[in-house]
Amino acid sequence: PYKIIIDTDPGQDDAVAILLALASPEDVEVLGITAVAGNAPLPWTEKNARRVCELAGRPDVKVYAGCDRPMVRLLHTAPEVHGDTGLDGPVLPEPTMPLQAQHAVDFIIETVMREEPGTVTLCPLGPLTNVARALVKEPAISARLRQIVLMGGAQMEGGNSTPCAEFNIYVDPHAADIVFKSGVPIVMFPLDVTHQVLTARRHMDRIQAVGNRVAQATYEMLDFYQRYDEHKYGTDGGPLHDPCVIAWLIRPGIFEGKTVNVEIETGSPLTTGQTVIDRWNTTGRPRNATVMLKADSDAFFDLLVERLKRFG
Ligand code: BDR
Ligand code: CA
């Protein structure tokens, strides 16, 4: 299995990504979960990460709190999408499992320096603040990481925070810039692909039919989460962004992409947070990221439903 660290700002779609990972021990070994400020402030995201672990019956998973604000900009959250708690929808109890004392950035560094070189995969599902801070604090991790598989960015699809910028990159573009310049191989899931994975009614019915407690909570999370997109854009369901990252580690054939150069805009008032994707290699700059562009949404939901059935 891939050894992974999930860096996250739960977030209903983050929560589903965590559940998918914890249900798939033969494919991914979760070394730890690091929380970052994003969809909600850090006190919520770290608590939500623990709530989700307990929901999965895994209070043994180590959860670390990281950065409570972006590197340069002020924190911008998304209560209109995720609710004030970041995880509105199901009623989940206060977590009783502990938050680890170590800072998330130090956990990332220590883990990558301890494990065999080329074995640890980082899975960022929120703003890239923790990951960038780790790369700055201990540059030696960049050569030791296997890869970074992240959700963020947009090209043809346009942004969801501004016309050009997707939320995770928009919240901390300076961190994203550091990550994309780090030399670590990147696999990126932009809105172009995640908007193909919608929680359509037929998929929601299958999730609810699973019938166990985790599937029911997943249904309630997504039922809340999809309202934003359904009301705003009239779609059948909301985009399941973050679980694409974990699904790719389990079944890469669900997705298709292209390896290209990606740079991050950090300076322009108009386009800050844009992922400038050189799809046709117009610049000749090094190809630093595999950008996913297509998803087989039925195959994705087959996998999710199959894994949700594993929870007792
Ligand atoms: C990303 O932003 C958050 O709202 C989601 O959790 C996802 O990581 C999508 O733009
Ligand atoms: Ca997220």
User: Is any atom of ligand 1 closer than 6 Å to the C-beta of 241?
Assistant: yes
Digit-coded pLDDT (tens) for 139-178: 999 999 999 999 999 998 999 999 999 999 999 999 999 9
105-137 b/e (C-beta count within 10 Å ≥ 16 → b): bebbbebbeebeeeebbbbbbbbbbbbbbbbee
* Probe residue for ligand 1, chosen from 9, 19, 196 as the CB with the greatest number of ligand atoms within 8 Å: 9
Q: What is the pLDDT of residue 156?
A: 87
Digit-coded pLDDT (tens) for 244-280: 999 999 999 999 999 999 999 999 999 999 999 999 9
User: Is any atom of ligand 1 closer than 6 Å to the C-beta of 128?
Assistant: no
Q: What is the pLDDT of residue 184?
A: 98
The residue type found at 94 is E
Q: At what angle do helices 201-210 and 213-233 cross, to 10 degrees?
A: 160
Output the pTM of the full model. Answer: 0.98
The 3-state secondary structure of 289-308 reads: EEEEEEECHHHHHHHHHHHH
Q: How confident is the model at residue 87 (pLDDT cuts 50, 70, 90)?
A: very high
Cα(13)–Cα(241) distance, rounded to whole angstroms?
6
Cα(124)–Cα(112) distance, rounded to whole angstroms?
15
Cα(179)–Cα(166) distance, rounded to whole angstroms?
16
Q: What is the pLDDT of residue 171?
A: 98
Tell me, yes or no, if 241 is annotated catalytic: yes
Cα(300)–Cα(293) distance, rounded to whole angstroms?
14
Question: What's the token pair of residue 184?
Answer: 């670590």
Is residue 58's pLDDT more than 90? yes
* Probe residue for ligand 1, chosen from 13, 19, 44, 157 as the CB with the greatest number of ligand atoms within 8 Å: 13
Digit-coded pLDDT (tens) for 190-207: 999 999 999 999 999 999
Strands of 120-124's sheet in order across: 63-65, 28-35, 2-8, 120-124, 145-151, 186-189, 289-295, 255-264, 275-278
